[in-house]
Amino acid sequence: MEVYYVKLMVFFVLASMIFLIGYLYLRYRKKQRLKMIEKIPFKPEHRKFLHKTPHYDSLLDVDKQKIERSIIRFVYTKTFIGVKMEITDEIKIVTAFYACLLLLHKETSQCYDALQTIIVYPSPVVLKDVRENGGIYTKEDFIIDGQSSNDTVILVWHDAKQEAYHLRHDNVVIHEFAHEIDFMDGEVDGVPPLEASKYHEWTSIFYDEYEKLHAVAMKDREWGKYKLLGSYAATNEAEFFAVVTERFFESPHSLYAHFPELYKELKDFYEIDTLTLVSK
């Protein structure tokens, strides 16, 4: 019996050593790969895509250089998969630009560490869902133009391209990556990773406006200033945060005029004054 336990102990020690060696090796490989990525220059021909966006040219030169480095890290550390379409440089650069714009002034080792895959469809996707109402289950089709689930983001390029190059209140790339930021603290609740001292103020302001929007959406009348946010933002707190983030980057002057407290909270969190990036 003693021999058995000794052998078992030796097995677990060896297994632990093998696991540790494997873990250290993978970390070493990752660090070496990141060092190689840091040496990759940003291709001048890719700036034509950035110049077409309404945000890039308004960035300070230092921020342009910083976001270009972030774009390279993003493109070389994430897997892009096209469904019935080819993944082009334009898709990679534009997606990475807006994803990294959100984190431009946030301290992160990489752009979205947990994210692994971006799946791109050419046109809106019809998915099947099972819904329950009073114990009755029904299958329904619903259309999506984007979706996120921590390690995967789904985009529809037809919509993403149009919104990337024109200010339209909506921007599906910004929306889905706002969800990714929301995921970073482990909960999808409309509250991104915040310093403890800022948590109360954020939740008080955001939840108050969310409740007001939800009440208006339930009545579906007298929208007033809440028309800027729309009914989808009333779905839940997470969607509210994602939609308000879209407005912060896409129509900051309107957001500031109607919801100055929301604008201030987002300005403090993203550390970007988008009023200076977007003209009226």
- State the pLDDT confidence band at 113, using cuts at 50, 70 and 90: confident
- The structure's pTM equals 0.84
If you average pLDDT over each of 12-21, 180-189, 200-209, which comes out highest? 200-209
Is beta strand 146-148 parallel, antiparallel or unpaired with respect to 152-156? antiparallel
pLDDT given for residue 3 in this prediction = 64
Compute the average pLDDT of residues 157-172. Answer: 92
| Res 267 pLDDT > 60 | yes
pLDDT digits (tens, 9 = 90+) for 59-78: 999 999 999 999 999 999 99
CA distance 127 to 83: 14
C-alpha distances (whole Å) from 97 to each of 78, 87, 92, 203, 266 are 13, 16, 8, 28, 19
Long-range contacts of 49-53 (CB under 8 A, 24+ apart): 49/89, 49/90, 49/93, 49/94, 49/97, 50/93, 50/97, 52/164, 52/165, 53/94, 53/97, 53/98, 53/164, 53/165
CA distance 14 to 82: 42
Residue with tokens 């990556």: 177
Reference 210, options 187, 242, 182; nearest CA is: 242
pLDDT given for residue 7 in this prediction = 61
As a dihedral over the C-alpha atoms of residue 144, residue 168, residue 164, residue 99, rounded to 10 degrees, the angle is -70
pLDDT given for residue 145 in this prediction = 73
Tokens for 229, please give them: 């946010």
Cβ–Cβ contacts within 10 Å for residue 52, how many? 15
Reference 90, options 105, 80, 100; nearest CA is: 80
Is beta strand 152-156 parallel, antiparallel or unpaired with respect to 117-121? parallel
C-alpha distances (whole Å) from 108 to each of 32, 126, 252 are 18, 35, 25
| Res 175 pLDDT > 80 | yes
Average predicted confidence (pLDDT) for the chain: 86
| Res 128 pLDDT > 80 | no
User: Is 71 within 8 Å of 42 (Cβ atoms)?
Assistant: yes
pLDDT digits (tens, 9 = 90+) for 188-208: 899 999 999 999 999 999 999
- State the pLDDT confidence band at 14, using cuts at 50, 70 and 90: low
pLDDT given for residue 28 in this prediction = 55
| Res 177 pLDDT > 90 | yes
Residue with tokens 């329904």: 140
pLDDT given for residue 168 in this prediction = 83
Compute the average pLDDT of residues 256-266. Answer: 97
Better-predicted residue by pLDDT, 106 or 273: 273
pLDDT given for residue 25 in this prediction = 53
Tokens for 166, please give them: 């024109």
User: Is 164 within 8 Å of 173 (Cβ atoms)?
Assistant: yes
CA distance 18 to 23: 9
CA distance 172 to 156: 8
